[in-house]
Amino acid sequence: MNALNRQFELIRQSATVAMADRILALKASGQPIIGLQVGDPDFGTPPAVLAAASRALQAGLTHYGPSSGYLDLRQAIATKLQRDEGVVYDPASEILVTHGGIHAYYTALQAILNPGDEVLVPDPTWATHANMVVMLRGEAVRVPAPAEHGFIPPLEAWAQALTPKTRAIVLNYPSNPTGAYPTRDYLEQLQAFAEAHDLWVVSDEVYGSLYYGERPTSAAAVAGAKDRTLIVNSLSKTYAMTGWRVGFLAAPARVIANALKASQNSITCVAPFIQKAAAFALVDPEVQVATAQMRAAYTQRRALVLEIAREVGSTRVLVPPPMGAFYFFLDVRPLGRPSVEVCEGILEVAQVGLVPGSAFGEQGEGFVRMTIAASDADVGAGFRKILAWAEKEKA
């Protein structure tokens, strides 16, 4: 038999995707499932962005475009990075337009990794952070970020995972699935560690604009860190544009030069009319108002969940308030069952779709992820059903 790429044997089917498939099948069979499993805003893309894409289509931008991205889009990205993160990037040499955040992450790792390199990846985190390293013939070394440490790895845990093969560390703040993000002081210490050991810092900041307290600090905003930091970001979550597939990598020019080759030789370019819509979305004042309204809605839903949690007072489902992103990482450890089983029970009996915490790594076991990127009615009703199911379960 013809051989296949063996790296893929090392990658498990994502539990998020498996659960989503099962939920779709149940829905298709007519079951009234409340889907609280996906990380996709329930809001429409702001109408002004649709109009900008439409204008670009009418203007004939339906052919190939520049692989690095139109300069006006790269300028808009630089404006966003300076406005929101306080970091100055050169649009001509330090920014690459990508096919969403996932492709920004792909080009980032392509640009810096050699086969056999080790990459430190927090646990729990979005499965792609480790899977992509494996796809590129690197080794993903998991660094525990236990619940007891606020889902942020203790600084000494990074040091313990270090070997002569360590090439990079991956950060994702606010985190999917936990919403956690560290203090500026922590980032300063981590960046000092990266500098001392000549490590790249790949920082996935796709949830960077979704936070409920003080604004998180970008990993590149720490003094002296920009030269070793690769920022992965996209318009998907903040602008409710997941289906547009547009994001960016911001990094030192020599990294961008490699990442551009990776992009050019895999996707050619992001669709030109989408690039024009993205350039508009990032800087248009009305669109920023629309995104602020979405953030306000997530804030209200977060408060709604916390209010229901207080009212019900469950001892079986504990509800740590997320600091950012649009997920609750519900603590179901009191039930004493694997998170996959908990999700299956909740899906079958309560008819609510969730993602098992184990999909994000060992440290996610005992937790389940519930999105609040769904309507107020679904979030409220779905969460009540989860709590009611847990009360009936034998611990």
Report, in Å, the least distance between residue 107 CB and ligand PLP: 12
Q: Total number of residues binding ligand PLP (CB under 6 A)?
A: 13
CB-neighbour burial class of residue 3 (10 A; exposed 0-12, middle 13-18, buried 19+): exposed
39 is a site residue for ligand PLP (CB under 6 A): yes
Note if the bond before 91 is cis, omega within 30 degrees.
Answer: no
364 is an interface residue for ligand PLP by CB under 6 A: no
Shortest Å, Cβ 359 to ligand PLP: 12
Residues 183-222 that bind ligand PLP (CB under 6 A): 204, 206
Q: Which residues of 365-375 are buried (b: 16+ CB within 10 A; e: fewer)?
A: bbbbbbbbbbe
Helix runs in 113-250, H state only: 127-135, 155-161, 184-196
Residue type, 24: L
111 and 259 in contact (C-beta within 8 Å)?
A: yes
Binding ligand PLP (rule: CB under 6 A), the pick from 37, 68, 238, 242 is 242
Q: Residue 328 is inside which H or E element, if any? A: strand 327-331
Q: What's the closest the beta carbon of residue 17 comes to ligand PLP, in angstroms?
A: 11
| Collapsed DSSP state (helix, strand, coil) of residue 219 | coil
CB contact at 8 A, 308 and 384:
yes
Q: Is 239 in the site for ligand PLP (CB under 6 A)?
A: no
Residue 356 CB, nearest approach to ligand PLP (Å):
16
* H or E segment to which residue 355 belongs: strand 355-356
101 binds ligand PLP, rule: CB under 6 A: yes
- The Cα–Cα gap between 64 and 269 comes to 7
Give the binding range for ligand PLP (CB under 6 A) out of 44-52, 98-106, 111-119, 346-354: 98-106
Which of 41, 100, 179, 182 binds ligand PLP (CB under 6 A)? It is 100
Structure tokens at 72: 């006006």
- The residue (of 208 and 366) whose beta carbon lies closer to ligand PLP is 208
Of the pair 174, 382, the CB lying nearest ligand PLP is at 174
Among 124, 153, 247, 322, binds ligand PLP (CB under 6 A): 247
Helix (H) or strand (E) holding 57: helix 47-58
Stated as kind and residue range, the H or E segment containing 167 is strand 166-172
Beta carbon of residue 210, minimum distance to ligand PLP (angstroms, whole number):
11
Angle (CA) 44-244-17 rounded to 5° is: 90
Task: Decide if residue 126 touches ligand PLP (CB under 6 A).
Answer: yes
Q: Report the nearest approach of ligand PLP to the CB of residue 2 (Å).
A: 31
Binders of ligand PLP in range 265-294 (CB under 6 A):
none
Return residues touching ligand PLP (CB under 6 A).
Answer: 39, 100-102, 126, 172, 176, 204, 206, 234, 236, 242, 247
